[in-house]
């Protein structure tokens, strides 16, 4: 079996590694316990979380033991990493509700019946004695070193600065790693590259306090060829919860990625063998669309299951292949609401335009069609109970008036 580090490197996961040669040797010796943290700032994970989730799955398949740590405690502070402003403060009730939903989602990707654990850091963070915590943990953190960390740079350079509340986040995350090391023998933290400073702080804490090895690996953030984060849609983030992003919309997102992103996405977001990934990524011209269909199906299958992936695939083929409405995503309007609703209002409400002004431009450009007929007036009021509303060539909504 290939070394797991070689597997992750070949597929494009690894960005930075702490004590790489020592870590390689340790991983080769036998099963290793590692963890990835997920702060419950929303009631669903999004596609940005999917990279570390896939890496966890690869590592578990290689025989290593994952811990999914849900941040019911750290979320009460909010991670300042890469943020220009302080995160919105959530109530304990909101956080606990989000934790419950995220735990349920994680169970779709990680096999918790095969050595993996799901842990909430609220168990040790919410009832900390602050004085004891500072004496035990704070003494190992150098403020000068903390201020130089990448996770604080953006905030330190802005007028808003950094609150003392957020300054504690690095200590809290470092303490998480220390507790997981104490309680479960965890030796490795994995996560997004924006977490590098926090992660090496935790590994250093273990090495100082316990005089034992600890490691960190960061994974590349999902970005397009221009370096921009992927996973944004007209409606916002690309969520892993089908109530927030339907399997059809999820499928269509991957079906429409840029040509030069296909190989990267296949490597990171599917379990296809790398020989097949490279073959598909090398396709050119119209043939690359076949690779995109495989990408869309494979990613949707992992996130939503094979049945819903097949349904999304069938709907897309019906919609774009035969020109019929198939099972396009549905947007419902109340009859009294729709009675005097102009097409620009419908476009904005259904999420096919970001605003009414954008909707007006789309109509004026001839980019809006109802059941295949071009809409020519921004004041047009649809009088049908059901119709297919199309923006451009690839964005559709089935509008149903009830």
Closest to 142 (Cα-Cα) out of 196, 82, 80, 201? 201
**pLDDT of 340-393, one tens digit each?**
899 999 999 998 998 999 999 999 999 998 866 788 899 999 877 777 898 887
Task: Region of 328 please: left (phi>0), alpha (psi -120 to 50) or beta.
Answer: beta
The pLDDT, as a whole number, for residue 232 is: 65
Cα 228 from Cα 233, distance rounded (Å): 13
The pLDDT, as a whole number, for residue 234 is: 47
What is the set of domains in the chain, with CATH numbers?
4-219 (3.40.50.620), 232-320 (1.10.240.10), 330-401 (3.10.290.10)
The pLDDT, as a whole number, for residue 222 is: 87
- Which parts of the chain have pLDDT scores under 50? 234, 322-325
Active site residues: 41, 46, 49, 83, 87, 173, 194, 229, 232-233
Bridge-based pairing of strands 236-237 and 232-233 is antiparallel
pTM for this structure? 0.78
Bridge-based pairing of strands 330-333 and 395-401 is parallel
Closest to 121 (Cα-Cα) out of 178, 189, 176? 176
Written as one string, the DSSP assignment of 108-170 is TTS-TTTT-EEEETHHHHTT--HHHHHHHTGGG--HHHHHTSHHHHHHHTSTT---HHHHTHH
A 10 A CB-CB count for 63 gives 13
**pLDDT of 201-228, one tens digit each?**
999 999 999 999 999 999 988 887 777 7
Q: Which two tokens stand for residue 188?
A: 């490795």
């Amino acid at each position: 079996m290939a070394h797991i580090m070689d597997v992750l490197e070949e597929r494009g996961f690894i960005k930075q590694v702490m004590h790489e040669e020592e870590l390689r040797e340790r991983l080769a010796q036998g099963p290793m316990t590692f963890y990835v943290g997920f702060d419950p700032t929303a009631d669903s994970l999004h596609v940005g979380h999917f990279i570390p989730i896939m890496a966890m799955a690869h590592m578990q398949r290689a025989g290593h033991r994952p811990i999914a740590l849900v941040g019911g405690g750290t979320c009460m502070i909010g991670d300042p990493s890469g943020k220009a402003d302080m995160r919105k403060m959530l109530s304990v009730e909101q956080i606990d509700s989000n934790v419950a939903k995220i735990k349920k989602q994680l169970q779709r990707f990680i096999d918790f019946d095969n050595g993996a654990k799901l842990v909430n850091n609220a168990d040790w963070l919410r009832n900390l004695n602050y004085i004891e915590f500072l004496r035990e943990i704070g003494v190992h953190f150098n403020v000068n070193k903390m201020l130089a960390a990448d996770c604080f740079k953006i905030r330190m350079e802005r007028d808003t600065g950094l609150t003392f509340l957020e300054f504690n986040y690095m200590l809290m995350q470092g303490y998480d790693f220390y507790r997981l090391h104490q309680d479960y023998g965890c030796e490795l933290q994995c996560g997004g590259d924006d977490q590098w400073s926090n992660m090496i702080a935790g590994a250093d804490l273990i090495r100082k306090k316990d005089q034992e090895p600890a490691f960190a690996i960061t994974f590349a953030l999902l970005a397009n060829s221009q370096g921009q984060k992927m996973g944004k849609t007209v409606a916002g983030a690309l969520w892993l919860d089908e109530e927030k992003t339907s399997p059809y919309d999820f499928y269509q997102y991957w079906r429409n990625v840029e040509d030069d992103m296909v190989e990267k996405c296949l490597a990171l977001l599917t379990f296809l063998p790398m020989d097949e990934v490279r073959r598909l990524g090398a396709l050119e011209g119209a043939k690359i669309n076949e690779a995109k269909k495989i990408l869309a199906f494979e990613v949707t299958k992992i996130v939503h299951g094979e049945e819903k992936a097949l349904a999304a695939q069938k709907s897309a083929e019906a919609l774009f292949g035969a020109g019929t409405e198939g099972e396009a995503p549905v947007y419902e309007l109340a009859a009294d609401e729709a009675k005097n609703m102009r097409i620009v209002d419908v476009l904005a409400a259904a999420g096919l335009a970001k605003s009414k002004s954008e909707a007006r431009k789309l109509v004026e450009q001839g980019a809006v069609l109802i059941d295949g007929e071009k809409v020519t007036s921004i004041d047009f009021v649809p009088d049908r109970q059901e119709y297919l509303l199309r923006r451009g060539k690839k964005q559709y909504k089935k509008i149903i008036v009830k």
